[in-house]
Structure 1
């Protein structure tokens, strides 16, 4: 495959899975759009880098509470809100207590129900609270309010600060928020890959149907390897442990909903991603408390 074709598919993936600008794409063949799904791990890494950079800049200007909430808002904006929308539709459907056919109909409905509202409020509260704790000095961060005590920007980790157990998190002078933002989107998008590669699609047509048409299921082991390498480098053995627990829970979720609905949908992929991201944040907090 030519480099121009790879570049086009990467841009297609960025344009579909984020709001990052990619320029004019023109009219692209269905195959290129369908196969752009294979670049989702790369998109996740880009999003993680952009989020970490935004957090670093905001941390020099704002107090932690405002800082954390703005990061949460920016993360939702960057993803286009599609994952959150899928989470809400999924909660409306699976908590409705209806038949499988009715659940799928409810999930397709653009109207928002009470289950979705309650679920998304709880999700955002937990996510915002976790981000706040991760950017506070008590969690090991160097930034509180505006600049660090020395008046300089937060320092960049050095090689000497890395450990096999906790990766860069052992470097207590660093705000763990930056590190977590780097790999949180990757784990969330990995959950989407898991759902698409491991379980059948519950609809004949839908937004994800074109991805399924050109899906290469060998993508899952490669994506898993990328996640393990990145989490191992950034968060050490503890990070890989968090990922392993999330993987088991997402497998269980996929199996349960497949048994109930006959497969998964694009909305469920979004729900899996959002839940995985929350579990990354909670996992980091629990591990820090355990080893601290």
Structure 2
């Protein structure tokens, strides 16, 4: 019985660590996170994504219920997910676009990525990401389908982060990615499993396989690009990967859920 109690305590603590890392919600553990705990809790990132997706879906549902059209409702839902995550991944996307696009040497790219100011590449990347995600949600329109899309996008986009961190070495010895450590294949596999299950439940097995292939391709391209240009991954690279994956899933949801609704 004591063993089960300890396992339950560890499970809850992992979930609280994952949610507190991925969001600004006050659900963090009551005691400081120790060395290695973030690695162990990395499996819970897609579950934290489900929390973010639920918040966005709730905002969309409320907006729809008071008579807002899909366009404004979708923007409010998108804004709520950005707010609840502290724009963590949007910041990573902008910094990655600025660094990889504007720097000529590895050192200059890393220097730009650490600069809090946003440049032309970063601004363009954010605008494109926002428009694509907003238009996907507005196209889906139906509150139930929007909820499914948001849950899938936020869970699946975070499911691959532990695997990316596990197999792509850090580009530098300091920074968020290096300090968090590299997850073990075991925890990475659990996160991937959670993401795959969520995709299968939302899209169906066949279309979920297509989604997994698309997300894997995005991960491989990002891994190759980051290793070639800066020697590995950083927290910003992980944020950019999440944004690309989230956008891809929302676009797939717009096509799949919209076509399903028309049958």
Is the CA contact (8 Å cut-off) linking 1:107 and 1:267 kept in structure 2? yes
If the length of structure 1 is used for normalisation, what is the TM-score?
Answer: 0.79
| Aligned-pair CA distance for 1:60 | 0.8
Is the CA contact (8 Å cut-off) linking 2:113 and 2:236 kept in structure 1? yes
Within 5 Å, which residues of 2 pair with 1:1-292? Answer: 2=6, 3-22=8-27, 25-61=30-66, 62-135=68-141, 141=142, 175-212=144-181, 215-236=183-204, 237-287=206-256
Is the CA contact (8 Å cut-off) linking 1:35 and 1:211 kept in structure 2? no
Structure having the higher helix fraction is 2
Is the CA contact (8 Å cut-off) linking 1:243 and 1:280 kept in structure 2? no
If the length of structure 2 is used for normalisation, what is the TM-score?
Answer: 0.88
Is the CA contact (8 Å cut-off) linking 2:137 and 2:254 kept in structure 1? no
Is the partner of 1:205 in helix, strand or coil?
A: coil
Moved more, 46-55 or 274-283: 46-55
| Aligned-pair CA distance for 1:270 | 0.2
Distance 1:66 1:109 in 2: 33
Distance 2:255 2:111 in 1: 38
Check 1:229–1:284 CA distance in 2 against 1; reply closer, same or farther (3 A cut): same
Check 1:227–1:29 CA distance in 2 against 1; reply closer, same or farther (3 A cut): closer
Match of 1:168 in 2: none
Deviation track 1:184-236 (CA, whole Å, cap 9, x = no partner) reads 101111232232122111110111223215x2222222222222221111111
Check 1:24–1:179 CA distance in 2 against 1; reply closer, same or farther (3 A cut): closer
| Aligned-pair CA distance for 1:114 | 1.5
Moved more, 74-83 or 224-233: 224-233
Distance 1:32 1:249 in 2: 28
Distance 2:198 2:33 in 1: 32
Distance 2:31 2:188 in 1: 30
| Aligned-pair CA distance for 1:70 | 0.1
| Aligned-pair CA distance for 1:47 | 2.2
Check 1:7–1:125 CA distance in 2 against 1; reply closer, same or farther (3 A cut): same
Number of aligned residues: 254
Deviation track 1:69-93 (CA, whole Å, cap 9, x = no partner) reads 1001001012111100000000000
Is the CA contact (8 Å cut-off) linking 1:239 and 1:284 kept in structure 2? no
**CA radius of gyration, larger in:** 1
Structure 2 unmatched runs, 5+: none
| Aligned-pair CA distance for 1:95 | 0.6
Match of 1:166 in 2: none
Structure 1 unmatched runs, 5+: 136-140, 144-174
